[in-house]
Amino acid sequence: MIESWRWFGPRDPISLTDIRQTGATGIVTALHDLPNGAVWPEADISARRDMIEAAGLKWLVTESIPVHEDIKTGAPGWEHKARNWARSAVALARQGVATICYNFMPVLDWTRTDLAYELEDGATALRFEYAAYAAFDLFILQREGAEACYSADEIAAARARFQAMSPAERDRLTANILAGLPGSEESYTPDSFRERLGSYRDVGREDLFRNLQNFLDFVLPEVEAAGGVLALHPDDPPRSLFGLPRIVSTQADLERIAAMHASRAHGFTLCTGSLGAHPDNDIPALVDLLADRIHFLHLRATRREDDPRSFHEDAHLAGDLDMVAVIRAVRRLERQAGKVLPMRPDHGHRILNDLTGTSTPGYPAIGRLRGLAELRGVACAVDALGTAGAQ
């Protein structure tokens, strides 16, 4: 695995110099200042690449080129948006940034209800609390038809959760869900969010699968010809939110999507946290199943709570995930496929000076450094013992 680090560009409070000191050699980034749907100028790509290389690092993965909502809904003119997406991807590949992580989550990207959930040791983590999410949907957003998505008991629990919140807590929950977390494609107000949800009124799971297929048919030949590979990120959380379809959540979803194209340029980002939040997903088995369709790794762990739809980010070697088994499977994949995968320690707890310093939610310096060191240690141990002998 190539140790890499998510960097949000020159405005990121964690500098390239800081990243160099972590031991990571790869950078995962994007041109975050460009609007969704814009073509990325090749000159801007090369300038960002040169900036990274001047710091002694290499831009390995683009995360991500946002997929416009018109593409996901199949709205009239979606082909123009897809053409722009393909032009950006081709420009990246020509500049030596071949791997493109993207997602196909409708409206919202990754979603959390709490960005500073306090753990027993005083660290803080990201959390998705189902009752708080339902309280927002039912009683703050007041989404039309939302009641049909919940049982009577769930509505009662959501009402109690809502009534227990202060006005400031309700505002904070709204901001956490709608303002856009790092790397998100969009941010919304409640009114604009309701409007965007309305554009999916006639889009179901089968429609979304079809629109993904159409998108891939449109962009994949050009990207592959330029030497690029596409790495689709799973849904986070891996289940429907706000009545929207989600299609990249389970093993069955991944197998169906893999079958859309035989090309090995069509593949996945294996995000152990996103997939691990679904109790039916066996992550080491998924590594073996998807094999050389995996082009990029997000390694982190989540811990499901009493309500298994709720979870929080745990330490990288804790939670509901057997990270040792995952890394063993990755080493088998790399050996058999004859390639080395870029990996980044995904998310991290705010610990030590992270708690008083400035960092992007989910992406503190010291918390991720701890995760990277732990993952590095597991990889070294697996290599020393031998992948086969460690079974």
Catalytic residues, which ones? 233, 271, 298, 346-347, 363
Alpha helix segments (H runs only) across 74-144? 78-94, 130-135
Residue 302: burial class (beta carbons within 10 Å; 0-12, 13-18, 19+): buried
- In angstroms, the CA 139 to CA 136 distance is 6
- In angstroms, the CA 324 to CA 356 distance is 32
Q: Supply 374's token pair.
A: 């732990």
- In angstroms, the CA 366 to CA 352 distance is 7
Residue indicated by tokens 């030949």: 221
- In angstroms, the CA 366 to CA 176 distance is 23
Give CA separation, 227 vs 41, 86, 93, 195, in Å.
Answer: 18, 12, 6, 38
Q: Supply 104's token pair.
A: 């196909």
Q: 3-state class of 300 per DSSP? A: coil
- In angstroms, the CA 294 to CA 288 distance is 10
- In angstroms, the CA 19 to CA 34 distance is 23
- In angstroms, the CA 296 to CA 27 distance is 12
How many other β-carbons are positioned within 10 Å of the β-carbon of residue 271? 26
Q: What backbone torsions phi and psi does residue 143 show, to the nearest 5 degrees? A: -65, 135
DSSP tag of 165: S
Q: Supply 221's token pair.
A: 């030949």
- In angstroms, the CA 225 to CA 272 distance is 30
